[in-house]
Structure formats: structure tokens, C-alpha cells
């Protein structure tokens, strides 16, 4: 992947403060032992449903926070959305968000934080879902010009997991995506700048979930499946559901 970055001032994108609800019902076809996220039409943030005994996904403010986040996630064909009444004309190309965390002592991921971005491209043949590393540095949105991973309809329909990891390493965030989709091995890595290299990696963090937008809300119901922690966290990493837990607040980046 090239190192060229697209940068966008944070003021150009909406930052939405919404409740993360704990749903009683798992999304359809949720794998055994996994949790699910569901974004309803007209919403930005997803509700999360956890099966009995599940400890993840992480949600809310955790202090001290951790240096990394690793989870398995399945994007389903419900992610093949099309905006027919976008808030702004180019909203179809805005980046939606996979789980991530705030950084630099901020609550707000739109100020400082790291996550993966995703969007469904309606202007390509075939239509595809793109995934990129995404980081905010003092309100500036950073992401590469080219997608890190591209999935088509058949890939989404296979509903096979990819493992996502984000790690703080001094002045950069290190991103990795690994897995196998319909027999195709995926092993991709990238880095993006961090705005606060002097800040401790264990400073308090907001652990966010599945998010739609950008400025427009979801035009249809979108759900995904998540398993976290996907592996034993490292020293100093967060292991709980957060001090605010599932009733806390999540910020769109």
C-alpha cells in the first residue's frame, strides 16, 4: 500500500454523541459465542448484543486504557448500502467506522483516535466494500488514498471473519488485517501518524463500536458480528467492558 494520505479537517465532518444501547437480541445468524452490532435505519451508532458469558466487545471509557485493540469482525451483505437522500452529495463516499479507541487522553475519537474505516462503493463495477486504516490527529482525519482490503458481494456473502488490530507505537498507529476470505489469504499492514507521541499509551481511552457516517445516517439496517477479546490482551491492555459499559457514550470519528 502506498504511503500517500488523504487528510480532511475534522470540522468538515459531523461528530455525533449518542448512547450505545445493550440490545436483548442478537442479529440474525450471529455465530455461536459472538456478539453482534446492529445499526438501525436513521442511526449513526449501533446497538450491541452479547450472548451469555461474552465479555466483549469493549465499550465506554477505560482508564487506564491499553496500547492495542484486537478483535474479529464479520461484515455481512447488509453493509451494501445506498444513500438515496444523502445529507451532503458525496456522503456515499464517507468512511464509516469499525471498532477503535480514542487516544491522547481524549474522549472524542474525532479529535484523537484510531480505528478502521469502511464504505460501500456504488460507482465501481462490480460494487465493492473498501476498508482502510483511519486515524484522527488533533481533529485532522487521516487515511490512505488506496484501500487496504477490498471485498465484493460474494466475499461479504461468505460471512467469514477477518482479524483487525490497532497498536500504538510511539508516534504512529500500526494497523493489521488478517484472515482468509473464500480461500484468499489476507495479510495487510499500515501505519498512520499519532498526534501525541509523548502521551502514555495507557492514558484513558474511549472504546467505540460500529458506526455509520460521516454525516448521513444509515439508510437501511446494517449488522455485523464481533468477537473480542480475540486473543489474550498484552500487558497494560484493557480487558473489561469499560467504566461506562454498554450504557455509555460513543463518539463518531
Distance CA 184, CA 116 (A): 20
- This prediction has a pTM of 0.86
Cell of 192: 498512520
Distance CA 90, CA 173 (A): 28
Distance CA 205, CA 89 (A): 33
Please give the pLDDT value at position 5.
58
Please give the pLDDT value at position 24.
65
CATH number of the domain located at residue range(s) 31-251 in this protein: 2.60.120.200
Using alpha carbons, list the distances in angstroms from residue 234 to 66, 75, 90, 99. 8, 26, 40, 18
Please give the pLDDT value at position 16.
34
pLDDT digit string (tens) for 198-227?
Answer: 999 999 999 999 999 999 999 999 999 999
| Cα torsion 64, 10, 140, 209: sign | positive
Please give the pLDDT value at position 153.
98
Residue 119 has pLDDT above 50, yes or no: yes
Percent of the chain with pLDDT strictly greater than 70? 81
Please give the pLDDT value at position 233.
42
From the number of C-beta atoms within 10 Å of its C-beta (0-12, 13-18, 19+), residue 185 rates as exposed
pLDDT digit string (tens) for 156-183?
Answer: 999 999 999 999 999 999 999 999 999 9
Q: What is the chain's mean pLDDT, rounded?
A: 86
Burial string for 126-157 (b: 16+ CB within 10 Å, else e) reads eebbbbbbbbbbebbbbbbeebbbebeeebbe
Q: How confident is the model at residue 15 (pLDDT cuts 50, 70, 90)?
A: very low
Please give the pLDDT value at position 229.
79
Range of lowest pLDDT (77-91, 207-221, 227-241): 227-241
CB under 8 Å to 75, separation ≥6 — which residues? 118, 129, 151, 156, 224
Closest CA to 136 of 6, 24, 4: 6
Distance CA 23, CA 168 (A): 31
Please give the pLDDT value at position 6.
59
Taking residues 230-243, what's their average pLDDT? 46
Distance CA 96, CA 250 (A): 14
**Residue of 25 and 7 predicted with greater confidence:** 25
Residue 99 has pLDDT above 80, yes or no: yes
Amino acid at each position: 500500500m502506498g504511503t500517500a494520505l488523504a487528510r480532511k479537517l475534522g470540522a468538515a465532518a459531523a461528530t455525533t454523541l449518542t448512547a450505545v444501547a445493550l440490545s436483548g437480541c442478537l442479529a440474525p445468524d450471529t455465530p455461536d459465542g459472538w456478539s453482534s452490532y446492529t445499526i438501525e435505519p436513521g442511526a449513526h451508532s449501533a446497538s450491541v448484543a452479547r450472548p451469555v458469558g461474552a465479555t466483549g466487545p469493549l465499550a465506554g471509557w477505560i482508564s487506564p486504557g491499553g496500547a492495542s485493540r484486537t478483535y474479529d469482525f464479520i461484515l455481512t451483505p447488509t453493509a451494501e448500502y445506498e444513500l438515496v437522500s444523502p445529507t451532503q452529495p458525496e456522503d456515499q463516499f464517507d468512511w464509516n467506522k469499525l471498532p477503535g479507541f480514542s487516544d491522547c487522553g481524549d474522549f472524542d475519537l474525532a479529535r484523537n483516535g484510531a480505528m478502521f474505516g469502511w464504505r460501500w462503493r456504488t460507482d465501481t463495477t462490480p460494487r465493492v466494500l473498501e476498508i482502510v486504516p483511519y486515524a484522527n490527529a488533533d481533529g485532522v482525519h487521516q487515511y490512505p488514498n488506496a484501500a487496504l482490503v477490498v471485498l465484493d458481494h460474494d466475499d461479504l456473502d461468505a460471512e467469514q471473519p477477518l482479524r483487525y488490530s490497532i497498536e500504538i507505537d510511539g508516534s504512529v498507529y500500526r494497523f493489521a488485517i488478517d484472515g482468509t476470505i473464500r480461500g484468499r489469504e489476507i495479510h495487510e499492514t499500515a501505519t498512520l501518524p499519532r498526534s501525541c507521541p509523548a502521551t502514555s499509551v495507557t492514558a484513558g481511552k474511549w472504546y467505540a463500536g460500529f458506526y455509520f457516517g460521516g454525516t448521513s445516517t444509515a439508510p437501511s439496517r446494517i449488522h455485523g458480528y464481533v468477537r473480542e477479546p480475540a486473543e489474550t490482551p498484552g500487558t497494560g491492555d484493557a480487558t473489561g467492558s469499560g467504566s461506562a459499559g454498554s450504557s455509555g457514550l460513543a463518539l463518531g470519528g
